Structures are given as structure tokens and as C-alpha cells.
Amino acid sequence: MTSKNKSVPKPRAKLNGNQFEIMIDTGGTFTDGVLIDGQGRIDVAKAETDPADPANGIMNCIALLSEERNLTERELLRNTTSVSIGTTLPIF
């Protein structure tokens, strides 16, 4: 998994009514994620794709996005209004 530089501690996101949207694109090599909050702040993450089980890359991306906001995955998903997922992987 890869992510942004973590050398500077980030403040914990305030969840007082803040809702998130998550967009994920899973491809043959990487899974990219974008997180947008109600104030328009954007975070991005990139994780390796597991073509045999794309859910692994998707969940790793969500984990990285939650780290960007200093939240647990559960906190992030509990406060997410929509998740959009696209893929270029063949679906059988």
C-alpha cells in the first residue's frame, strides 16, 4: 500500500455533521480512491490491486483514506453518504 507523506501528524477530523463521499477506481495494477467531505476538502489514496480479489484493493484504499482523516474505517464509513466504484477489470 502507498499513501501520502505521513511525517506531519494530521488533526482528527471533526464529525459534527460532516458527511463524506468516496469514489474508487480499481484497475489492473492500482486502486485509486478519492474522499470528499461536505466542505469540499479532497484526499486521495492509492493501493495495489489484487486482480483475483479486487475487494482487497478497495478496502486497502478505504483504510488509507481513513488514515488521511485520522479516523477509523468504521468512523469514515459510518459518516459516508455514498461510495462509487468503477473498474477496468474484466467481470466474469
Are the C-beta atoms of 36 and 20 separated by less than 8 Å?
yes
pLDDT band at 5 (very low <50, low <70, confident <90, very high): very low
Domain boundaries, the chain: 20-87
Q: How confident is the model at residue 14 (pLDDT cuts 50, 70, 90)?
A: low
Dump pLDDT digits (tens) for 50-91. 988 999 999 999 999 999 999 999 999 999 999 999 998 887
For the chain, what is the mean pLDDT? 86
* 20-87 maps to CATH 3.90.1150.10: no
Q: What is the pTM of this model?
A: 0.79
Which stretches within 13-92 are classed as H helix? Answer: 54-68, 73-78
Give the percent of the chain with pLDDT over 90: 68
Contacts of 88 (CB under 8 A, 6+ apart): 25, 26, 27, 28
